[in-house]
Structure 1
Amino acid sequence: MGRDDYEGFDLLKATPAGRRRAFSQVSNLPVVIIESDRDNGDKDAKQRQFGFDEVKPFYNGRGTGTLGVARRSNDVEEHLFQASLVISQNAEVDGSEALLQRIVHCHADKKHHKTGTRDVARWFERQTAADVGGFLSVALSRERDILEAYAAAFDSIETRYTDSGVLKNERIIKNHAQVAACGHALKVLFPTMSDYLREGLTEYLFLRAKAREQRLAADHPLVEQFWDTYDYLSIQLTKTTSRLDPLNHESKPGFIAVNFNQYTEACRNCGQAMPDVGNLKKLLHTSSVRRFVASNRCVYSQHEKKNVKCWVFHEAKLPTLED
């Protein structure tokens, strides 16, 4: 792309002003974010995470940040995001459903490496943008041809993904079809690109779209961990207390009422890892396996014989508590 020694930038090492400038620096070029999510379970993990929902407006080309103009007026300056965003990191990006719908997640590994791969990689390490950075100028000179090839491929691929009967989410279909169509349009610049390679790319992105829909249909990993731990603790505590479902304070069938203080104490006593409660409480509203009903509701405990503040969930799809 003509940028020597550019790998990307680390959001966690940048100030808000630096981030804004990096996002506004270029147009029609990729802005690469590297290793900006380093949550490894440590207690200070919050300090080493970036909220990717902050970049969600970039999807529609909205502003990278608003600055006040030094005049005696209400004028502001807002640079629009005109680049493409690439997130390169080991950890899969996590966030809201709206954010995850906007990301096309492609993974890379070393399975394709073979004899000679190392030599090719080291050859590229020695090159400069002046030697091998011809892609940008050639792409710009064939802009009309590339866009026509892209538009034709996109219509075909989007229809194919939609008619598959597997994919349902319109935004996921659109985004993955767009990236696949960009791959097809590369044939304008690389005439020797085989139909087999383009078909393989189309199928690969179809599978990535399918995986993304499955990810959104399932509960967040922290929510899944919460319910797995809940089920384990219920079995263990039943053995020692002789109570049936000892963590569930709700006596009405079909509902689960969990008191978080009791839950965290049970985790400590049984040697179970406890995720960050603040993050967990934000995510439990999205629980689908056991559908969320209410938070901090006073429930008359079947065990304590008094009112206890609990988070309430459906154990199955049954009538609500009000019913």
Structure 2
Amino acid sequence: MKAWLWDGLRGIDHLRLTEVSDPVAKDGEVVMEVHYAALNPADRYLAEKRYPYPVNPPLPHVLGRDGMGTIIQVGKGVKDVRVGDRRAILRGDVGVFRWGTFAERVSVSAVNLVEIPAGWSEEESAGATLVYMAAYRALTMWGQLKPNAVVLVTGASGGVGVATVQLAAAMGHTVVALSRSEEKHRRLKELGATLTFNPENSRWSTDAKAALAPRGVDLAVDNIGGKLLPEVIDTMGELGKVSLVGELAGPVPNFNTATLFSRRLRIGAMALGYYTPEEGHAAWQEVLCQLARSGARPLVDRMFPFEQLPQAFERLGEGPMGKVLLNVKR
């Protein structure tokens, strides 16, 4: 089969398309013929050695955490999946500690697969699980929010950002979305955002507080980090919580922890690894219920041929609103 191999050196330019041996399903595993694979910033982080925690997969490595396809081989002990079934990857170590979906075939633990949701296209399914699971975890990791809570989302036009806006709106919350693009503000409001602000405007936090008064933000889902985090903290209300999802802007400079005390704020990092397979499947079913209730669907930006993975990463770097996919099966 063909696969995009990473040699372990820093950078996307160290990926090369080559022939490798087909995977074989071990006990509890299946082999999936990949139809579509989705790109995520985490794939670039790993290749650029900027992952938020140490990750050292055996080399050479195949990136790609998201994807869907047809099951072509089933290992011993697998009961709920058959050859010919179509499945999407829900979670697990695919693309991180084991070979991922930027390949024509991939071996996956059967417990980390889900059916294609009713009415969804293969393209929608290929890039949905990681972003929606991350969004759901960020929204629920502190417990159930009060009705009509104020949820602020940074990087709202990115993959996890869009999913968070959709889910928070479906849950009945007031959504405040941050994006640098005025055109994306319009689309975010169509997806359920009540208020939108440009984080490059130095007055955005002041304007947000004025628009929300006398309330403050109950939960912030921060996909950006960097110098934006203290500004997010400024908008928080009493007992507010911050779920840290990403750090696209890098480390937080000169953060004064004293700003947390008077309003008794809490900050924590979101990690999908804390889900057991059973918890992951339960969370995914809740995600689907929320999306079905609101009619929201995954957004797809562009599709690239399998041979154009470098160009697909270039598109991802442009900050599209929707998933960037590889057409692997063609």
Higher strand share: 2
User: Common fold, TM-score beyond 0.5?
Assistant: no
Q: Please, what TM-score do these two structures have when normalized by structure 1? A: 0.21
Quick check: which has more Rg, 1 or 2? 1
Higher helix share: 1
